[in-house]
Structure 1
């Protein structure tokens, strides 16, 4: 056996040994208990975020109920006209607000720099609404509920590549739990026999839903970028301008005959007003929630909208009840909590912020990251934490 003698030990090793200090016991912090961790997750910000998402779901529920009454009870199949009313309201409120502004935030100044980008975004938003509503004529409600979830992976991928958002394992687990909740809801539909919307061209309807969900994902990611780096009023004003213009053209070409068939009375007028109010509220409020959270978190919150519609249908349309509906609701909420319990961060790449707006154009809000700034961690609750710069590898 070989033994070391003190003379054989290098001097730097002796130095390492002599510099070790004992940590005083009072400086050691105990690890947080389970209760403390739960309180840290279920804080005021999380509860407020969940509540805001459910407000959006309730607005979508109102949109669905008014559309169902118009189509089933009054045979008013006018999806383009219904969207046109919403875009007109956006034009009257937000586009006119931009028109009366002064300086670089004026409507003409914005159009001069970015008109064609907003034109494309307006067309995407119009056709997303149209394709999903049109799909109900060809496929089942169950298929629409399942395939409409395709918007979530679309938003995740687009956020990763274009907004440079980086996710953790818990975010993907939360998304998976939410989709599991949708699976429970669809299973409940099958058990109680809710197969409304059967048509002769089911494959066509399924493809329409997938196309509409893809366009929704593109629109939501663009909306997130604009409201976080430019202005909420600018986004809504441009949607009102180009949305009313192109949906008006589409209405005149495709739906003017259907509109003439509508038997107008106070009930139909009330339903159109209710639909427009819910749609306008959704468009006006969604940018607020997206700026606070993200497009992904908002789309996960909207998964509960179908459940609210089902609960209303128990009283209004005599739907059959299943305990799986309640189970699916709690599973979706659990997935939302998991997703919101951890933070995401934005990988630094200043080129992203030059893709949409002019490099020389002024910003109405300070960009969240810049070429010389550290990257910012965004929690799902909108909190910001500075970290070391992260450079995206091209």
Structure 2
């Protein structure tokens, strides 16, 4: 980047910062968005803690069973609700017109969950934490191309700030010796993480589009239906031996129920938060989920604490607030204005035709009375007084 280009970027950033109304930054909407985003992070923390207990205490590695339970709950709730809707929102009408789209969406969502869990067998926790952030640039690109989202310099800076917070978290993990995971095939593991992040980005982008243009019920109903089918097939192929060999106890059942409740609540609430903000903003907020899991691990798994974790949390929060201070509108059709209808081209054209008709009638009346026609001004109004001879 040349010196002039560098100055241009700095000037744009400083100009946007000068135009901020700092007193209006911390609105109730922003605080609500922040609270809901951290609530989603807490739910992800719950899924991580229960999965950690299943893996360490009971030596169970059953990611497809856990996913299948979640998709089944979503299917029983939201897919059943779609069956009782009428018109275009009925499940039969949706399947008739868009079944293949939701099949691909369900496949992307299921495989994203499976790929990131599988990556822990081949690569380290540090690599997963770093490469999982690949979802952010992919989401920025996809949102810009498909949703026509208009990002500003401050949004890109906010994403970089959040990534710096993730870097501080990874550094704290290395210092405290928490670089867990395997290193049997790092290249394969890293590739699985990148594939998972890309599929998550596609799933979240589709979720944002469907929720904002159709309905939350349609998205969850279709994902629950196809997610149950796909995860059930994979469960029967990949994990039938593991499931058959489970020595069921009340602790295992309780942990699976806790995981299912957290994941079901996450799937139910995430479309609400995405509808309020965007998929990119939600994923920025979810960067704190690993920190919440760490803080729980300090008491449950005797993790070593580092002050960099607090720094990481603060930096990610600052980046998230920066991202949400400036809206990211999409190019959607403008609504009809209540005052004059100038935002609707059809209404404006009808108004012009009506005015033009009035002009012709008035000109005709004036011609009949005085024998001379009076000119119209600008095609929208006519002179109502005549010059006496």
- Could you tell me the TM-score, scaled by structure 2's length? 0.81
TM-fit CA distance, 1:345:
2.3
Q: Distance in 2 between matches of 1:240 and 1:345?
A: 29
- The one-character-per-residue Cα deviations of 1:68-113 (angstroms, maximum 9, x if unpaired) are 1111111110001100000000110000000111222111011111
* 1:133 alignment partner, one of 97, 101, 117: 117
Matches within 5 A, 1:104-115: 104-115=88-99
TM-fit CA distance, 1:180:
0.2
Q: Which residue of 2 aligns with 1:64?
A: 48
Residues 1:169 and 2:153 aligned together: yes
Q: Distance in 2 between matches of 1:388 and 1:176?
A: 39
Q: Which residue of 1 aligns with 2:76?
A: 92
- The CA RMSD over aligned residues, in Å, is 1.9
Residues 1:317 and 2:301 aligned together: yes
130 and 321 in structure 1: CA distance in 2 versus 1, 3 angstrom threshold: same
- The one-character-per-residue Cα deviations of 1:255-278 (angstroms, maximum 9, x if unpaired) are 101111221100000000000000
TM-fit CA distance, 1:172:
0.5
Q: Which residue of 1 aligns with 2:222?
A: 238
Quick check: 2:335–2:344 contact (8 Å CA) kept in 1?
A: no
Q: Which residue of 2 aligns with 1:46?
A: 30
Deviates most, 276-285 or 36-45: 36-45
Q: Distance in 2 between matches of 1:135 and 1:160?
A: 29
Quick check: 1:182–1:332 contact (8 Å CA) kept in 2?
A: yes
Quick check: 1:75–1:262 contact (8 Å CA) kept in 2?
A: no
TM-fit CA distance, 1:387:
9.4
* 2:186 alignment partner, one of 202, 215, 223: 202
Higher helix share: 2
Q: Distance in 1 between matches of 2:123 and 2:56?
A: 16
Q: How many residues were matched structurally?
A: 323
Q: Which residue of 1 aligns with 2:3?
A: none
* 1:224 alignment partner, one of 188, 205, 208: 208
Q: Distance in 2 between matches of 1:373 and 1:37?
A: 27
Q: Which residue of 2 aligns with 1:249?
A: 233
- Could you tell me the TM-score, scaled by structure 1's length? 0.80
Q: Distance in 1 between matches of 2:60 and 2:291?
A: 24
Q: Which residue of 2 aligns with 1:11?
A: none
Q: Which residue of 2 aligns with 1:265?
A: 249
* 2:321 alignment partner, one of 329, 337, 344: 337
